[in-house]
Amino acid sequence: MEIGRLFRAGVVALALLAAALSARPALAQANFDRPGSDYLSLPLSSGDPADCALSCERDRRCRAWSFNYPTDAAGGALCWLKSSVPARVQGNCCVSGVRGAGVVEPRTGAMETSIDRFGGDYRSFDLKSDEGDDACKAACTADAKCRAWTFARPGYAGREAHCFLKKDIKPPRRKPGFVSGVVR
């Protein structure tokens, strides 16, 4: 009799755990776009994808969203609200998600997305339009003096993309539009 109660209690506990895990919201992802089904575009002066996700949450019609990083200081960031959930496609231009999704920035060890390591700069320079965070990281790796780096997308630290090489490793702080890393 006692074993039967324990078995039923275990089954109920497992069912509740499975329900709780399946109820977690889907998460948005950086470097993905969801083209199509747009019904509204909003300029975002903050340049923060989390504000785009929040705009979707506040609009009953919204089912998904895409945040486009600014291409230059004049263009600004855009948030596209969508009436359905289009398939996602890979694209460095964007962060996208579905209603109820938070923003997940990739953490790939050496690259810290949406992170600025403010201070400790000894050199900074603009990058060409076809160069990205990899070029900034490569410049730091090639320079024995460089210990860390920060890349700013176009429109976040000036009109062009910008690279900051650092002689000191400063603490990371969240800042949309920036990518950082520690080399040595």
Q: Could you read off the pLDDT of 83-95 as tens digits, one per residue?
A: 999 999 998 889 9
Query: What integer pLDDT is reported at residue 22 of this predicted model?
Result: 38
Report the CATH number at residue 60.
3.50.4.10
Q: 144: pLDDT confidence band, cut at 50, 70 and 90?
A: very high
User: 31 falls in which pLDDT band (50, 70, 90)?
Assistant: confident
> In the listed set 104, 139, 157, which residue is the last one of a domain according to the structure?
104
On whether residue 10 sits in a domain, the answer given is: no
Query: Can you give the residue range of the structural domain that contains 117?
Result: 112-182
Q: Where are the beta strands (DSSP E) in 20-171?
A: 28-33, 38-44, 64-68, 77-82, 89-98, 103-104, 112-116, 121-126, 148-152, 162-166
Which residue, 73, 104, 135, sits at the end of a domain? 104
* 137 and 71 both lie in a single domain: no
| Of 35 and 104, the one with more pLDDT | 35
**Total domains in the fold of the chain:** 2
**pLDDT tens-place string over residues 1-24:** 567 565 565 544 444 444 433 334
Average pLDDT estimate for 88-108: 80
Q: What is the mean pLDDT of residues 88-109?
A: 79
For residue 25, pLDDT over 50 is answered with no
The secondary structure of the chain in percent helix, strand, coil, rounded to multiples of 5, reads 20, 35, 40
Is residue 93 within 8 Å of 68, Cβ to Cβ? yes
Task: Write the pLDDT tens digit of every residue in 34-83.
Answer: 999 999 999 998 888 989 999 999 999 999 999 999 876 677 899 999 99
